[in-house]
A and B are shown apart, each in its own frame.
Chain A
Amino acid sequence: MASPFSINGGACVAMVGKDCVAIACDLRLGLQSMTVSNNFPKIFSYGNVYLGLTGLATDVSTVSDLFRYKVNMYRLREERSISPQTMANLVSTSLYEKRFGPYFVSPVVAGINHTTGKPFICGFDSIGCIDFAKDFIVSGTASDQLFGTCEGLWEPDLEPEDLFETVSQALLNAVDRDALSGWGAHVYIIEKDKVTKRLLKGRQD
């Protein structure tokens, strides 16, 4: 049988811009080559921190619910919302707890730290090893294609509107070369005190 990471398909990407970050995902949910749904978003928000999850769909749902619980508990105990850096460490330790029976997900964290005002993105493997990146993070079945488009299109210090165009083109063109991803996309542009969410139609085939 196929790898658990590529049964359902899906793609996610995060990028850093000038005082902003972007995170985007496709909407496909499939079972091998059969598409089951074209409305399965893979980005979840926890206050002002965003988490993208690709991989096995059942684990995407389980892990997103688990972090909703954990982040709510954090907010009640600490009486403040969680920072992206803290979220990254929470994701890392939570995944490593399942070291010998992991969730089959490749998470991506994106957000702006409200104390420092600095953009933050990072990615993880399925057992919680953090990849801190200054430019972009990719995950999912279209990760090879995303590496190519991001490496070719991204440049430092993009303004929010340009970052939106860059991340959208990177995702759309990548998923069009992956049979397991696509069918529309969600794009979040996160600024200091504004978040813009856009739905992209993309190719429907």
Chain B
Amino acid sequence: MASSLIADPTSSSHNLYSFSPSDQTASDIRQHSFYPYTDNGGSTLGITGNDFAILAGDTRSTSGYSINSRYAPKVYRIGGEDETGEGAHIVLSLVGYAADGTALQERLNTVVKMYKYQHGKRMTVKACAQRLATILYSKRFFPYYVQAILAGLDEDGRGALYSYDPVGSYEREQCRAAGAAASLIMPFLDNQVNFKNQYMPGSGEGHDLHAKQAEPLPRQEVERLVKDAFTSATERHIEVGDGLQMLIVTAKGVEETFYPLKRD
């Protein structure tokens, strides 16, 4: 046999070479993959009042157990005159995949700006809400991986708030929490903003009981609830913390406040 004549004394008779035979066979089947999304955590929250709307979001950005940034805003001004957002009348919060959030915010901002140039008037929140839904649905099969909340003042000057799923299904609401700690914040809001499970004392027994009617809350009260909701979420959710940014829309324009949260 040929192999026995040229065999390396150190190798066994069936192996002719110093490297293993598997090295020269075609490489093993390997599965390559690319996942285009990351969850950057964080939470947002919006509440409306009689003549104002508040959008809030924490400023932590995470991937896995790492903190990428302690100050990465996810609440944006829409329809401003320049990059500072001066003169904006609509606010937008985007939580989920931060890159998609930035991209979508830029796109909506451009649309609202172009609307003003072409029509010579400001876009209403109602129109902006419908436009955002169309933009989200236009990427139905490769979505922007975000949960959006849009807020401003409606045609009557009342607080307006719209919440979205990633592909553009939307609804006008009084309040909404989105993002990582939405499941923690939302039931608290049901109770404290819409007075769910609360009844008027002495209004009857059993089915005669009258539910406490929800009414728009004053701004001070809403700001207190937003801070409470975020300090609570920070306490129990690892992806929430660092800072709380609030954008408040009134007839005068958009105000911004910042409140530090726990950084652990």
A→B interface (CB under 8 Å): 144-145, 147-149, 151-153, 169, 172-174, 176-177, 201-202
Contacts and interface: CB of A to CB of B under 8 A. Distances in A.
B190 interface: yes
A148 B233 contact: yes
B45 to A, nearest CB: 12
A125 B181 CA distance: 22
Contacts of B196: 173, 176
B232 A174 contact: no
Interface in B227-264: 228-229, 232-233, 235-236
A151 B262 CA distance: 15
Kindly state the interface size class of chain B when it binds its partner. Answer: 20 to 34
B13 interface: no
Q: Is the interface of A mostly helix, strand, loop or mixed?
A: helix
Contacts of A201: 206
Contact of A152 (B188, B198, B206): B188
B185 interface: yes
Contacts of B183: 144-145, 148, 177
A23 B184 CA distance: 20
B196 to A, nearest CB: 6
A152 B197 contact: no
B187 interface: yes
A149 B233 CA distance: 10
Contact of A173 (B188, B232, B236): B188
Contact of B186 (A151, A153, A172, A177): A177
A173 B197 CA distance: 7
Given A153-B191, A173-B196, A177-B186, 15 more contacts: A144-B183, A145-B183, A145-B186, A147-B236, A148-B181, A148-B184, A151-B184, A151-B232, A151-B236, A152-B188, A153-B188, A176-B196, A177-B187, A177-B190, A201-B206
A172 B198 CA distance: 10
Nearest to A171: B197
Nearest to B185: A148
B236 A149 contact: no
Interface string B156-170: 000000000000000
Contacts of B192: 152
B200 to A, nearest CB: 15
Contacts of B184: 144-145, 147-148, 151
A144 B186 CA distance: 10
